[in-house]
Amino acid sequence: MASVNGPGPDSDVAMDAINETAQGDVSLVAIYGATSFNLFHVGESVRRSFGSKAELIDHLSDLAEETRREFMERGLFSGLSPVQNSVEYQFDEKDGHGVLQVYCGGRGMLLFVDPDEDVEPLVRTASQLLGGM
């Protein structure tokens, strides 16, 4: 069982797995734990969307915290205690990117992909990288 704060998957291994799974471009890959945040890949289109790296990190950290809180609250309100290998995800379109957030065992992976990307294979790959399924 992986710790929620690391060590996480190796960035080269994670990028190879995500790129092999995705059908289109992957513009961003980040992994986060309870107190850690690792940015593995930022594509040019995402870089242009933000004024600085600090602004990008702040935005992604806020998004990761929202996701972590949402998934934890959902588990608490449903009366279930968190299960280490359960996988939850959500997919939205924001600013021309498909934003896929996968949460598993206290860790999350954030991906910016093409809006029409088939997300189920990416969810499986992300959950395996995070130590789930």
Q: What is the pLDDT of residue 25?
A: 93
Give the global pTM: 0.79
The answer to whether domain 11-130 has CATH 1.10.150.170 is no
Long-range pairs for 91-95: beta carbons < 8 A, 24 or more residues apart: 91/119, 95/49
> Which residue did the predictor score with more confidence, 103 or 133?
103
Lowest mean pLDDT among 4-18, 69-83, 99-113, 116-130: 69-83
Please report, rounded to a whole number, the percentage of residues in the chain having pLDDT higher than 70. 80
Per-domain boundaries in the chain: 11-130
**Mean pLDDT, all residues of the chain:** 80
Q: Which two tokens stand for residue 76?
A: 């608490």
Residue 88, pLDDT score: 82
d(C-alpha 55, C-alpha 86), whole Å: 31
Dump pLDDT digits (tens) for 20-41: 999 999 999 988 877 777 889 9
Dihedral, CA of residue 39, residue 45, residue 71 and residue 130, to nearest 10? -40
Question: 98 pairs with which residues across the strands?
Answer: 93, 113
- Residue in 43, 48, 14, 5 with CA at minimum distance from that of residue 126: 14
Q: What is the pLDDT of residue 133?
A: 47
